[in-house]
């Protein structure tokens, strides 16, 4: 950890009115030991800390031990190679960040061009990139110059040694939006929305291709300039070794400044514990709202439900890596006789959406249900492991575990005709993500007449209330209970058996596009109505004219 990270943390803490991270989606590039991510998380952000795979173990452990029980959102750690397969691993259409943070990512390494490409990739319209930097080498200046050319930047802080820049996107996404608006104006009102979307899509692809080309050129160009700068660096007085020594001193100093704010594991920790009293006075200038008490928790949680011990192994890779409050609330409800009377699961076929670590799945299986637990593919390994180890030898029915992307190929993978569930369970599936429509469609897909949908969620954002509204419109629903800020709803389909059967015969409709189809139908009807009404008003006008003409002739 070096001074830049510390400077950025201090900046974030003391300028919350300028950079308000509360409830913001934040990505850190080159998170290292994780201090910036930890502080951002303690300031209320939803953080993804990225780094190379070999760094993630320590990073995760630092994130977990310093934020658990104290942060609004559990930070996650993810692998990210700068400039490498960004469109595959972090597609821009899916991953949008309010803030991208980077501290001390520019130093004497060979990936400066890739770093800039990575910054560009994540910096979309609406994203603010905060970069804390300390200029040490000639090549750092080259990077700064390219950074200036790439973004609209402003200098937020400059303490003589460390500069904190804020940057926003200059380029092509803005173009796409403008193009979109232009097209909208050019097209007649009758031209269909679909056509517009198609055109925008192809425009997007074109721009994306152009972007890939420019990324490659940029990398090449930067490499060339870097090579020249490197030569200059080599000729400069003071070798790299000196610099490394100085850096080590900086590291030492940094740790000395930490009274024990956040417990960061890593090789340096012991080395630096000796002399922090000498820097105590300096610290007083920086009150630390994130200064926590230190405790360590392993990534394993032990629960007791239904008189059984349930051990949940967590992983920090994603949102499905930890037990969320709604799962806990529903498990607590099912642990009571009243709860089991209201939601009677024994021998019932049950589907769980977004099962995550599998705590609820385990409880449901122990209650005798025939469970199918579903989630994204990367979650299934840990889910399978937790579910099996906690239910083997204690279950009536062996649970199934299946991949399910909300709103994706539902009719192919889970045809309604053969997949009927008595219960569909979903806990904390509504949070800050872009698939709320797909989620609602998935709920609709599985909630047939005769199915009880149980949805438990902590209400966090105003957007959650919108989802609740849509949910209530889609289903016959009622609030079963509210506990620990988690609302538990039960819902049933608004459709009757007959209506559903009728629908099932319509293969086009049954293809997961019901909502779109319904919408199109409404649009068609509205258009027809509009045509009819303008036709009848034309007829009226024609009659009036005829009358007028007749009276004139007369
Ligand atoms: C906030 S976690 C909740 C996990 C668990 N239900 C709990 O309460 O502990 C949300 C879960 O939904 C899953 N999920 C998110 N987006 C999804 C999608 N598009 N399709 C399927 N599952 C998704 C995540 O992998 C994660 O396991």
Q: What CATH number corresponds to the domain at position 386? A: 3.40.50.150
Specify if 471 maps to a domain.
yes
pLDDT class for 262, splitting at 50, 70, 90?
very low
Flag whether pLDDT at 117 surpasses 60.
yes
What spacing in Å lies between the alpha carbon of 107 and ligand 1's midpoint?
38
Report the atom number in ligand 1 closest to the C-alpha of 405. 20
Average pLDDT, the chain: 75
Residue 195's pLDDT band, with cuts at 50, 70 and 90, is very low
3-state secondary structure of 118: helix
Does residue 363 sit in the same domain as residue 396?
Answer: yes
Between 198 and 330, the more confident residue is: 330
Mutate to test the pocket of ligand 1, among 303, 323, 354, 428 (most ligand atoms within 8 A of CB): 354
- To test the pocket of ligand 1, the residue of 93, 355, 376 to mutate (highest count of ligand atoms within 8 Å of its CB) is 376
Let me know whether 152 and 260 are in one domain. no
Q: Quick one: pLDDT band at residue 227, thresholds 50, 70, 90?
A: low
Confidence of residue 221 (pLDDT cuts 50, 70, 90): low
Does ligand 1 lie within 6 Å of residue 365's CB atom?
no
Q: Of 84-98, 102-116, 167-181, 337-351, which range is least confident?
A: 167-181
pTM of the model: 0.46
Instruction: Give pLDDT, residue 322.
Output: 75
Q: Which pLDDT does position 541 carry in this prediction? A: 62
More confident residue, 85 or 277: 85
Q: Given a cut of 50, is residue 256 above it in pLDDT?
A: no
pLDDT of residue 116: 92
**What pLDDT band is residue 85 in, cutting at 50, 70 and 90?**
confident
Residues 289 and 392 both lie in one domain: no
Q: Give the pLDDT score at 445.
A: 97
Nearest residue to 28 (alpha-carbon basis) of 129, 163, 156: 129
Domain membership flag for residue 188: no
What pLDDT does 321 receive?
Answer: 65
**Is the C-beta atom of 328 inside 6 A of ligand 1?**
no
Look at residue 200 and tell me if it is in a domain.
no
Query: How many helices and strands in the chain, by DSSP H and E?
Result: 20, 16
Q: Can you say how many angstroms the Cα of residue 94 is from the centroid of all Cα atoms in its chain?
A: 8
- Do 481 and 349 share a structural domain? yes
Residue 333 lies inside a defined structural domain of this protein? yes
Do 429 and 457 contact (CB within 8 A), yes or no? yes
Neighbouring-strand partners of residue 302? 311
pLDDT confidence bin for 513, thresholds 50/70/90: low
Based on the fold, state whether residues 279 and 169 are members of the same structural domain.
no
Residues 445 and 524 occupy one common structural domain:
no
Range 197-226 average pLDDT:
52
Measured in Å, residue 169 CA sits from the centre of ligand 1 at 31
**505 belongs to a structural domain:** no
- pLDDT category of residue 243 using cuts at 50, 70 and 90: very low
Counting from 1 in the atom list of ligand 1, the atom nearest the Cα of 327 is 8
Give the model's pLDDT for residue 277.
33
Are the beta carbons of 194 and 114 closer than 8 angstroms?
Answer: no
**pLDDT value at residue 104:** 86
In angstroms, what is the C-alpha Rg of the chain?
A: 29
**Helix/strand/coil (H/E/C) assignment for every residue in 301-343:** EEEEECCEEEEEECCCCCHHHCCCHHHHHHHHHHCCHHHHHHC
Distance 375 CA to ligand 1 centre (A): 6
| Residue at 506 is within a domain | no
Residues 120 and 249 in one domain: no
Same domain, 160 and 214: yes
Q: What is the mean pLDDT of residues 256-268?
A: 38
| Banded pLDDT at 112 (limits 50, 70, 90) | confident
Does residue 509 have a pLDDT over 90? no
**3-state secondary structure (DSSP) of residue 455:** strand
Specify whether 25 is located in the same domain as 104. yes
d(CA 396, CA 391): 9
Q: Are 383 and 401 in contact (CB under 8 A)?
A: yes
Q: 210: CA distance to ligand 1 center in Å?
A: 34
540 and 402 assigned to the same domain: no
Which ligand 1 atom sits closest to the C-alpha of 406? 20
Whether residue 375 is found in the same domain as residue 448: yes
Å from CA of 323 to ligand 1 middle: 10
State the helix-helix crossing angle for 462-474 and 436-446, rounded to 10 degrees: 30
Start-to-end CA span in the chain (Å): 98
**pLDDT for the residue numbered 215:** 57
- 100-109, 120-129, 414-423: least confident range: 100-109
Percent of the chain with pLDDT over 70: 64
The answer to which of 35-39, 430-434, 515-519 has the lowest mean pLDDT is 515-519
Please give the pLDDT value at position 312: 79
Considering the domain boundaries, does residue 192 fall inside one?
no
* C-alpha torsion sign, points 343, 466, 351, 458: negative
Q: How confident is the model at residue 493 (pLDDT cuts 50, 70, 90)?
A: very high
Q: Tell me the pLDDT band of 269, cut-offs 50, 70 and 90.
A: very low
- CB of 320 within 6 A of ligand 1: the answer is yes
Range of the domain at 247: 241-295
User: Are residues 218 and 90 both part of a single domain?
Assistant: yes
**Mean of pLDDT values over 528-535:** 53
Range with the poorest average pLDDT among 65-74, 95-104, 149-158, 401-410: 65-74
C-alpha torsion sign, points 111, 117, 122, 125: positive
What is the C-alpha separation between 149 and 169, in angstroms, rounded?
11
pLDDT (mean) for 343-351: 97
Q: In whole angstroms, how far apart are CA 11 and each of 5, 102, 188, 294?
A: 10, 13, 51, 23
Each residue's pLDDT tens digit, 44-62: 999 999 998 888 888 888 8
Which residue's CA is the nearest one to ligand 1's atom 23?
Answer: 354
Q: Is 46 touching ligand 1 by the criterion CB < 6 Å? A: no
pLDDT surpasses 80 at 190: no
**Strand 452-458 vs strand 486-493: parallel, antiparallel, or unpaired?**
antiparallel
Count of domains for the chain: 4
Q: What is the pLDDT of residue 497?
A: 62
Q: Is 431 in the pocket of ligand 1 (CB under 6 A)?
A: yes
What's the pLDDT at 156?
94
| Tens-place pLDDT, residues 368-414 | 999 999 998 888 888 998 999 999 999 999 999 999 999 999 999 99
Mean pLDDT of 1-17: 87
**Structural contact between residues 463 and 426, judged by C-beta atoms closer than 8 angstroms:** no
Centroid of ligand 1 to alpha carbon of 350 (angstroms): 17
Inside any domain, residue 201: no
Q: What average pLDDT does the segment 1-19 reach?
A: 88
Q: 281-295, 348-362, 492-506: lowest mean pLDDT where?
A: 281-295
């Amino acid at each position: 950890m070096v001074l830049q990270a510390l400077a950025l943390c201090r900046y974030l803490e003391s300028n919350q009115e300028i950079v308000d991270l509360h409830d913001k989606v934040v990505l850190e590039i080159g998170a290292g030991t994780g201090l910036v991510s930890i502080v951002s998380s303690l300031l209320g952000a939803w953080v993804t800390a990225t780094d190379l795979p070999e760094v993630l173990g320590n990073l995760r452990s630092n994130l977990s031990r310093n934020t658990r029980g104290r942060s609004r959102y559990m930070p996650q750690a993810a692998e990210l190679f700068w400039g490498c397969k960004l469109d595959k691993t972090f597609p821009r259409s899916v991953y949008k960040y309010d803030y991208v943070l980077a501290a001390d990512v520019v130093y004497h390494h060979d990936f400066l061009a890739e770093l800039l490409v990575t910054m560009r990739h994540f910096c979309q319209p609406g994203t603010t990139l905060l970069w804390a930097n300390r200029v040490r080498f000639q090549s750092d200046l080259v990077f700064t110059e390219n950074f200036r050319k790439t973004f609209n930047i402003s200098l937020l802080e400059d303490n003589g040694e460390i500069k904190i820049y804020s940057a926003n996107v200059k380029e092509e996404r803005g173009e796409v939006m403008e193009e979109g608006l232009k097209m909208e104006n050019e097209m007649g009102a009758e031209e269909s929305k679909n056509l517009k979307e198609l055109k925008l899509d192809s425009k997007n692809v074109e721009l994306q291709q152009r972007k890939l080309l420019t990324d490659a050129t940029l990398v090449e160009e930067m490499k060339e300039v870097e090579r020249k700068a490197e030569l200059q660096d080599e000729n400069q007085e003071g070798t790299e070794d000196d610099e490394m020594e100085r850096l080590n001193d900086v590291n030492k100093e940094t740790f000395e400044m930490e009274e024990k704010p956040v417990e960061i594991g890593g090789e340096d920790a012991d080395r630096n514990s000796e002399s922090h009293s000498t820097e105590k006075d300096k610290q007083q200038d920086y009150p630390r709202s994130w200064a926590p008490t230190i405790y360590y928790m392993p990534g394993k949680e032990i629960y007791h439900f239904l008189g059984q011990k349930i051990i949940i192994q967590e992983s920090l890779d994603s949102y499905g890596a930890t037990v969320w409050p709604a799962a806990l609330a529903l498990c607590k409800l099912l642990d009571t006789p009243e709860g089991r009377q209201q939601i009677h699961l024994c021998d019932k076929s049950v589907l769980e959406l977004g099962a995550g670590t599998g705590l609820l799945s385990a409880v449901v299986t122990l209650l005798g249900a025939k469970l199918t637990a579903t989630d994204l593919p990367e979650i299934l390994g840990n889910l399978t492991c937790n579910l099996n180890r906690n239910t083997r030898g204690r279950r009536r029915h062996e649970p199934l575990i299946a991949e399910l992307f909300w709103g994706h190929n539902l009719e192919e993978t889970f045809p309604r005709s053969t997949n009927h569930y008595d219960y569909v369970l979903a806990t904390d599936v509504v949070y800050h993500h872009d698939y709320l429509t797909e989620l609602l469609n998935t709920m609709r897909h599985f909630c047939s007449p005769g199915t009880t949908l149980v949805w438990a969620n902590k209400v966090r954002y105003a957007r959650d209330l919108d989802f609740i509204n849509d949910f209530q419109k889609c289903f016959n629903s009622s609030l079963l209970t509210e506990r620990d800020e988690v609302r538990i709803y039960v819902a049933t389909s608004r459709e009757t058996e007959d209506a559903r059967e009728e629908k099932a015969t319509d293969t086009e409709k049954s293809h997961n596009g019901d909502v779109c189809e319904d919408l199109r139908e409404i649009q068609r009807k509205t258009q027809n109505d509009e045509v009819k009404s303008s036709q009848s008003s034309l007829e009226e006008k024609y009659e009036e004219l005829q009358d007028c003409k007749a009276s004139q002739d007369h």
